């Protein structure tokens, strides 16, 4: 019996994936969306571990991240998107129709694919860090900086993004402390100079955060620092902790299938087109600059429109 070939499969369920599904289903493409634990990521994307979202248009009072993603999901379902709570674990984009294998061992074939698997922030791996995510621990200064007005925050990292996050946070916080595990920063000289000239920013080098307090209070009250030179520990009081040690795009299963840049992000041209005709990519799996829900949703819309045109022409 011949397998049913789908018009469009969307891999990923954050703002990009759901927006692509809304547009594609309204265009009668009958999309199938895999929301699973996408490639080790979070169903619904990083907003599922975000508390208050105050910068998404249309919600003047703000909205909880998981609530916003629930609304995205319901809207996609309303227009007929078939949502599967599975992972895609293997793909074959070498031949048409494209073939995808799910975590349940099922095989799917499709004429077009939108990849929206996102990127995951790198974390320290502390239990306290995990428990306090959304309660003072964040990986996005642009998203959460305004909650720390007149507070003391710690930024962990030594690269350009750490300097950028610290500089941004200094608009709100009374004090920003950059903690970096090495004696020297990795950031470009211009970014270092900008941070060092900022009177609100100070540095603790050659030190690591080994614990974030205080889980029992369900809020950040400080960090435990290990001095790598002296092998001693000390406590630093603060009200928030921002991770700025990079992101990892969820692209492992696409290696050797679509063109990736040196950091592992999918390369696109002419909108959301990858190097393979019929395969499109959107959201944080492409974008390592802006990384916002609104920009991810925007590229999800673009990918759906690009896929619709591709399918119409073929």
pLDDT digits (tens, 9 = 90+) for 46-95: 777 666 788 899 999 999 888 999 999 999 999 999 999 988 999 999 99
pLDDT averaged over the chain? 93
Catalytic residue among 52, 140, 214, 227: 140
- Taking the C-alpha atoms of residue 36 and residue 118, their distance in angstroms, rounded to an integer, is 13
Give the model's pLDDT for residue 247: 87
Give me the residue spans of the domains in the chain. Answer: 5-121+247-313, 127-243
In the sheet that holds 240-243, the strands lie side by side as: 137-138, 240-243, 152-156, 175-180, 201-205
Task: Tell me, yes or no, if 144 is annotated catalytic.
Answer: yes
Equal fold, 5-121+247-313 vs 127-243: yes
> What architecture (CATH level 2) is domain 127-243?
3-Layer(bba) Sandwich (3.50)
Tell me the pairing of strands 152-156 and 175-180: parallel
Residue ranges of the chain with per-residue pLDDT less than 70: 1-2, 37-44, 49-51
Give the model's pLDDT for residue 2: 44
Give the model's pLDDT for residue 44: 67
Give the model's pLDDT for residue 49: 66
Task: Tell me, yes or no, if 140 is annotated catalytic.
Answer: yes
Catalytic residue among 7, 87, 144, 239: 144
8 Å CB contact between 106 and 9 = no
- How many residues appear in the chain? 314
Give the model's pLDDT for residue 291: 83
3-state secondary structure (DSSP) of residue 84: strand
Give the model's pLDDT for residue 267: 97
Give the model's pLDDT for residue 40: 46
Structure tokens at 219: 């809020």
Closest by CA to 307, choosing from 36, 10, 34, 5, is 10
The DSSP symbol for 61 reads T
Please tell me the number of Cα atoms within 13 Å of 298 on its side-chain side.
11
- The torsion angles phi and psi of 216, rounded to 5 degrees, stand at -65, -25
- The torsion angles phi and psi of 59, rounded to 5 degrees, stand at -130, 75
8 Å CB contact between 91 and 254 = yes
8 Å CB contact between 178 and 201 = yes
Which fold does the domain 5-121+247-313 belong to in CATH? Answer: FAD/NAD(P)-binding domain (3.50.50)
- Taking the C-alpha atoms of residue 204 and residue 179, their distance in angstroms, rounded to an integer, is 5
Catalytic residue among 4, 7, 92, 143: 143
Helices and strands of the chain, counted as H and E runs: 7, 19
């Amino acid at each position: 019996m011949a397998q049913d070939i789908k018009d469009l499969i969307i891999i990923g369920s954050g703002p990009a994936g759901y927006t692509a599904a809304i547009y594609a289903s309204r265009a009668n493409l009958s999309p199938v969306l895999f929301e699973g634990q996408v490639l080790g990521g979070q169903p619904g994307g990083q907003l599922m571990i975000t508390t208050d979202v105050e910068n998404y248009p249309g919600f003047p009072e703000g909205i909880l991240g998981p609530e916003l993603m629930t609304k995205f999901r319901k809207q996609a379902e309303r227009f007929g998107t078939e949502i599967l709570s599975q992972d895609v674990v293997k793909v074959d984009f070498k031949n048409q129709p494209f073939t995808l294998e799910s975590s349940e061992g099922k095989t799917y074939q499709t004429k077009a694919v939108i990849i929206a698997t996102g990127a995951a922030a790198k974390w320290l791996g502390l239990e306290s860090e995990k428990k306090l995510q959304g309660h003072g621990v964040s990986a996005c200064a642009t998203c959460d900086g305004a909650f720390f007005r007149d507070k003391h925050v710690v930024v962990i990292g030594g690269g350009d993004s750490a300097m950028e996050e610290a500089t941004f946070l200094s608009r709100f916080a009374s004090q920003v402390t950059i903690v970096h595990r090495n004696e020297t920063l990795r950031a470009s000289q211009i970014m270092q100079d900008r941070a060092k000239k900022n009177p609100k920013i100070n540095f603790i080098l050659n030190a690591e955060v080994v614990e974030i307090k205080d889980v029992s209070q369900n809020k950040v009250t400080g960090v435990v620092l290990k001095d790598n030179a002296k092998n001693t520990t000390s406590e630093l009081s603060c009200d928030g902790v921002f991770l700025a040690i990079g992101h990892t795009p969820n692209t492992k299963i696409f290696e050797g299938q679509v063109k990736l840049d040196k950091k592992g992000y999918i390369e696109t041209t002419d909108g959301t087109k990858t190097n393979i005709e019929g395969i499109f990519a959107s959201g944080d799996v492409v974008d390592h600059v802006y990384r916002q829900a609104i920009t991810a949703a925007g590229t999800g819309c673009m990918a759906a429109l690009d896929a619709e045109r591709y399918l119409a022409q073929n």
